[in-house]
Chain A
Amino acid sequence: MKRKQPALPDSSEWSFESIERYDREIGRIAREYGLDCYRHQLEIITAEQMMDAYASTGMPVFYHHWSFGKRFLSTEMSYRRGQMGLAYEIVINSDPCIVYLMEENTLPMQALVIAHAAYGHNSFFKGNYLFRTWTAAEAIIDYLVFARNVIAEYEERYGENEVEQLLDACHALINVGVNRYKRPAKLSLTKERERRQERESYLQSQINDLWRTLPLRHEREEKEADRRFPAEPEENLLYFIEKNAPLLEPWQREIVRIVRKVGQYFYPQRQTQVMNEGWACFWHYTMLYHLHEQRLLSDGFMLEFLQSHTSVMLQPPFNSPQYGGINPYALGFAMWRDIQRICKYPTAEDREWFPDLAGGDWREVFDFAMRNFKDESFIAQYLSPRLMREFRFFNILDDTSHPRLRIEAIHDERGYRLLRQCLADQYNLGNREPDIQIWNVDLRGGRSLTLRHFRHQERPLGDACETVLKHVATLWGFPVRLEEQDENGQVRLLSEVMVDRRKDDHGP
């Protein structure tokens, strides 16, 4: 202890001054560790407001839709019944980074949230490549305000029901409305507003490749029969519909666009759950311990902190009644701690598995890992044999063509690599969700749209896809077909929805 400092407030009641003092001290530690964060803003809210925020995907402003009401009602129900506590924190990936503190929490809990969210998550949002390329922190709040106003305006002009139906359809496609590989353009409110008008009129005239009536030259016509539209399969269904659906009005395209943009904004969060939560937990743990070592925190504070920390980190085994899958907090936290351990105190096994890390500067390794990975690659790269043993991981093969399940790998020498690969795959959204792409539009006939499901590991589509297909048809306005291409390249028709919106619109 180099300098003598007054200890931080020790009461369990928080006050604005004590929160500010904690923030100052935690901020100091964060800078010592070299965490690069956005500015942040702490907002004190009530439990009720926390439920509101929960229901609208955590965002402070959002457009209105019944599904958020549904989420609110179920949150309220389980909260009132005492089945679940509310989350301690919600943090918004924006610049400044907004962190909600719930009024009912004690001072140690507020300090924990500040360390966890305002410095942990915050630095992850700022550093990780997925967030950097796919979200624009400085523009998101403005964009959401814009989205809410535009949608309210449309509700007024075209009727709540019309807008609701459209939103239903778009929400059904939100998971297949993201660019997984192509980098999207940045959102910016001013540009967005300027270009909206322009886009509306311009796009309407552009779509209509589908409507082209000028006779094509003869020599090209034969090739035309084979040519598909789009030339390459399109993975982003909402994008394709926004740009190409022939019958949508300009305002409808704008709504499709809003849902797509919002879906894209949340996509990185879904891909970095383990890493992101683990990172935040690692830092709140490390920073608060550091403060305790400097004798700024009382033992009582640490006990309360450890109590809630450990209950979040609990990983029940597979056969426990409490088991609900792998706890991303536990796995993430353990992995970051393990990487630190490998750097600082490597064993012979670590040197063999991670020659680049062993004995290195853990801060540099952390920075590199945080910036350049997502859950899938992070696990594939950094999960150590030691951690697999600690978690006692094992892998089950569930193959419908076999009557029984088979254990493929356990935490032993022969199993490590397979186990690690399987766990990484388990976090690959591309594996978990079916791969469905726009395959073709019948330009010469009925303008029907064909989607193709590329089957993987013989996993079929669920029943709900029929309903989703109807939503696609609502947006497209013409018949929609869903095909499935199996592992051998065999294609079969799964389902088909016949609609022709033109007839509906003009009556019989």
Chain B
Amino acid sequence: MLQIIDRRNDSKNKSAVNRNRFIRRFKGQIKEAVREAIARRSIADIDKGEKVGIPAKDIAEPQFRHGRGGRWNIVQPGNDRFIVGDEIERPQGSAGDGGSDASPDGESLDDFVFSLSREEFLDIFFDELALPHLVKTQLANVVEYKRVRAGFTSTGVPTNINVVRSLRGATGRRIAAAAPYLKTLRAMREELAQLEACGEGESDRATELRREIGYLLRKIDSLPFIDTFDLRYNNRIRIPAPSTQAVMFCIMDVSGSMDEEKKQIAKRFFMLLYLFLTRTYEHIEIVFIRHHTLALEVDEEDFFRSRESGGTVVSSALELMCRIVRERYTTDVWNIYCAQASDGDNWDADSPKCSDLLESVVIPLVQYYAYIEISDGEPQNLWREYSKIKAKYSQCFAMQQIGNLADIYPVFRELFKKKLA
């Protein structure tokens, strides 16, 4: 007897365990590949899966095999030109392979390329940044709710009573409840009118009818104008949704002292903020401002590429940012976030000015301001000025001196904490 078994609904992903083991085992190489991928991709692409390649020789499974050399007889099909005794040049690169499929060691220098899912990619990205577990789950999920109208209910608090709906209901109820009386009332009035027309307006029947009519009218009048039963309340429910829109300002110092490595650290810092924003806001715009002595709004390409020499005036960037906000992002529509990365160098006289600008203009505008100083040395004057602000506005201002990637997270600690509460 034939057996046909439908396995389509059986567990999928039987290989998930093996896949995880592969990723765990080659974590080092995969991390390296992810690092390269991050350098390549733009900030807004962080939230995607990635095709990564790791060197094939690292993951080779060795076997005893023949190497090159020795004598091999190889039979091949499709002879269209040779006769016995012909000699031909040895083709480059395949000499002595022996057989058609026996490349020595089975190794090629090509990378072993495969795709990481979004989860796997972010996992490795987070891993590097030493994010606490709670934050990771938060970033991976949407937890923001908003309250929206959802019709009407029959229960609620007095403030939510919807007058129009309630009265409309009451009217309907009154009409419905009065309907049987009205029918009899109409009949009686017709009969009375007939009696009166016949000159029998004073008969017993007419008097009785008048009494009945008066009774019914009282009855109809006594129907309550509005009843608790009629009340309708506005209903609101919570639905999970990214709430509104945000703009993220990336400000980076591009003076000569910011080298490639520092820029890569800054890039991750921006990426992390971006990732946080994608969880919270539906629509995000990114504005890139780079500065040395002059600030300039640029696209992402230029932002990370270009390198200028010369001094540093941070306030120029802050001023530019304020102007852009005024022109394009009014605060009642946009949530504004700002991330600033620098190596701490600033023109001495400029730092107090920055501090003033921040306190008087920028801080009231933004939801959160994060500053990282990428340097190993002593903090500079800008740092000292910013420290004062931090003391006053610790809820929405964070700063951190960064030596390596794991130091980035503390900058966002307050920000993430707020969302977790």
A residues whose Cβ falls under 8 Å from a Cβ of B: 16, 19-20, 23-24, 27, 40-46, 48-49, 51-53, 55-56, 64-70, 72-74, 76-77, 80, 96, 103, 160, 164, 168, 171-172, 174-176, 315-320, 323-326, 391-400, 403-412, 414-415, 419, 422-423, 425-426, 432-434, 436, 455, 457-465, 467-468, 471
Residue of A nearest to B14 (CB): A52
Contact A396 B2 (CB under 8 A): no
19 A/B residue pairs, CB under 8 Å, sorted by A: A20-B2, A42-B5, A43-B5, A44-B7, A44-B8, A49-B10, A96-B3, A172-B62, A176-B64, A319-B78, A397-B71, A400-B71, A404-B90, A405-B88, A406-B86, A408-B84, A461-B65, A464-B63, A464-B105
- CB atoms of B62 and A464 under 8 A apart: yes
Structural contact, A394 and B79, CB atoms closer than 8 A: yes
Q: Evaluate whether A46 and B68 lie within 8 angstroms (CB atoms) in the complex, with A319-B78, A392-B77 already known.
A: no
User: Known: A426-B75, A464-B105. Is A458-B4 also a contact (CB below 8 A)?
Assistant: no
Q: Are B64 and A175 in touch, CB under 8 angstroms?
A: yes
Q: Are the C-beta atoms of A70 and B22 separated by less than 8 Å?
A: yes
A318 near B62: Cβ-Cβ < 8 Å = no
Which of B75, B105, B113 is A462 in contact with, Cβ under 8 Å? Answer: B105
Query: Chain B contacts of A53 at CB under 8 A?
Result: 14
Q: Which residues of the other chain, A, contact B344 by a CB distance below 8 angstroms?
A: none
List the B side residues contacting A55 at CB < 8 Å: 15, 18
Query: With A52-B14, A56-B14 as given contacts, are A406 and B85 in contact (CB-CB < 8 Å)?
Result: yes
Our pick among A318, A436, A459, A464 for the contact of B70 (Cβ within 8 Å) is A459
Measured in the bound complex, the distance between the Cα atoms of B67 and A399 in whole Å is: 13
Task: Evaluate contact between B64 and A19: CB separation under 8 angstroms.
Answer: no
Binary interface encoding of chain B residues 72-99 relative to chain A, with 1 for a CB under 8 A from any of its CBs, else 0: 1111111110111111111000011011
B1: nearest chain-A partner, CB-CB:
A39
Flag if A422 contacts B88 (CB, 8 Å): no
Q: How far is the CA of A315 from the CA of B100 in the complex (A)?
A: 13
CB distance from A302 to the nearest CB of B (A): 24
A320 to B75, CA, bound (A): 15
Using Cβ atoms and an 8 Å threshold, which residues of chain B touch A175?
63-64
* Cross-interface CB contact of B84 among A404, A414, A436, cutoff 8 Å: A414
Most buried by B among A52, A399, A411, A462: A462
Asked if B143 CB lies within 8 Å of chain A CBs, one says: no
Rank and list the top 7 A-B pairs by shortest CB-CB distance, nearest first.
Answer: A317-B78, A325-B100, A459-B70, A69-B22, A69-B18, A73-B114, A462-B67
Residue numbers in B under 8 Å from A425 (CB-CB)? 73
B239 / chain A contacts, CB cutoff of 8 Å: none
A73 vs B19: C-alpha distance when bound (angstroms): 7
**Chain B residues with CB under 8 A of A433:** 64-66
Q: Which of A68, A394, A414, A464 is the one whose CB lies under 8 Å from B76?
A: A394
Determine if A56 and B62 form an interchain contact, defined as CB atoms under 8 angstroms apart: no
Contact yes or no, B67 A16, CB < 8 A? no
Task: State whether A49 and B12 are in contact (beta carbons under 8 Å apart), knowing that A394-B82, A426-B73 are contacts in the complex.
Answer: yes
Asked if B171 lies at the interface with its beta carbon under 8 angstroms from chain A, I say: no
Contact partner of B74 among A76, A176, A395, A404, CB < 8 A? A395
Q: Are B2 and A405 in contact (CB under 8 A)?
A: no
Are B71 and A48 interface neighbours, CB within 8 A? no
A interface footprint on B381-403 (CB within 8 Å = 1, 0 otherwise): 00000000000000000000000
Cα distance A323–B24 in the bound complex, in angstroms: 37
How far does the Cβ of B352 sit from chain A's closest Cβ, in whole Å?
56
The answer to whether B13 has its CB under 8 Å from any CB of chain A is yes
Nearest residue, chain A, Cβ from B112 = A74
Alpha-carbon separation in the docked complex, A41 to B80 (Å) = 46
How close is B17's CB to chain A, nearest CB, in angstroms? 5
Supply 4 further A-B pairs (C-beta < 8 A) apart from A67-B18, A77-B51, A324-B100.
A73-B19, A174-B63, A407-B82, A459-B66
Residues of B within 8 A of A323 (CB): 78
Question: Would A172 and B77 be within 8 Å (CB), given that A52-B13, A432-B99 are in contact?
Answer: no
Q: Does B101 contact A (CB under 8 A)?
A: yes
Q: Does B102 contact A (CB under 8 A)?
A: yes
* Cα-based distance from A319 to B107 in the complex (angstroms): 24
Judged by a CB distance under 8 angstroms, whether B25 is at the interface is yes
What separation, in Å, do the CA atoms of A464 and B63 have in the docked complex?
Answer: 7
In the bound complex, residues from chain B placing their C-beta under 8 Å from that of A404 are 87-90
How many A-B pairs have beta carbons closer than 8 Å: the answer is 272
Known interface pairs A77-B113, A403-B90. Does A459 touch B71 (Cβ–Cβ under 8 Å)? yes
With A49-B7, A398-B98, A410-B84 known as contacts, the answer to whether A459 contacts B2 (CB < 8 A) is no
Chain A contacts of B107 at CB under 8 A?
464
In angstroms, Cα B84 to Cα A410, docked, is: 6
Given contacts A42-B3, A69-B21, A434-B64, contact A408 B73 (CB under 8 A): yes
Bound state CA distance, A316 and B80, in angstroms?
12
B112 contact set on A, CB distance < 8 A: 70, 74
Q: Is B327 an interface residue (CB 8 A)?
A: no
Residues of B within 8 A of A20 (CB): 2, 4
Q: Is the Cβ of B76 less than 8 Å from the Cβ of A393?
A: yes
CA distance A73 to B69 in the complex (A): 33
Interface string of B12-34 (1 = CB under 8 A from A): 11110111111111100000000
Cβ distance A23 to chain B, nearest Cβ, rounded Å: 5
Q: Are B19 and A318 in contact (CB under 8 A)?
A: no
**Which single residue of chain B is at the shortest CB-CB distance from A114?**
B2
In the bound assembly, the distance between CA atoms of A404 and B86 in angstroms comes to 10
B332 at the interface (CB under 8 A from A): no
* CB <8 Å contact, A459 and B61: no
List chain B residues, Cβ under 8 A from A457: 70-72
Q: Is the CB of A410 within 8 A of B65?
A: no
Residues of B within 8 A of A411 (CB): 79
Answer whether residue B376 sits at the interface, using C-beta atoms and an 8 A cutoff: no
- Cα–Cα, bound, A221→B144 (Å): 84
**CB of B59 closer than 8 Å to a CB of A:** yes
Task: Find chain B residues with CB under 8 A from A76 CB.
Answer: 114-115
A65 engages B21 (CB within 8 Å): yes
Q: Is the CB of B70 within 8 A of A460?
A: yes
CB-CB nearest in chain A for B8:
A46
Chain A CB within 8 A of B60 CB: yes
Which of the residues B3, B67, B84, B113 comes within 8 Å of A409, measured between beta carbons?
B84
Q: Check A460–B66 contact: CB distance below 8 A.
A: yes
* Cα distance A423–B99 in the bound complex, in angstroms: 10
Could you tell me the distance in whole angstroms from the C-beta of B162 to the nearest C-beta in chain A? 52
Measured between C-beta atoms, what is the minimum distance from A141 to chain B in Å? Answer: 13
Q: How far is the CA of A172 from the CA of B64 in the complex (A)?
A: 8
Most chain A CB within a 10 A radius of its CB, from B18, B19, B24, B102: B18
B102 touches A432 (CB 8 A): yes
**Chain A proximity of B55: nearest CB distance (Å):** 13
**Complex contacts, B20 vs chain A, CB 8 Å:** 69
CB atoms of A410 and B60 under 8 A apart = no
List residues of chain A with CB within 8 A of the CB of B2: 20, 23-24, 27, 40, 42
Q: Which residues of B contact A415 (CB under 8 A)?
A: 84
Q: Considering only CB atoms, which chain B residue lies closest to A315 in the complex?
A: B77
In Å, the complex CA distance between A317 and B80 comes to 9
Q: CA A171 – CA B66 in complex, angstroms?
A: 18
> Given A394-B76, A398-B71, A459-B71, do A64 and B65 touch, yes or no (CB 8 Å)?
no
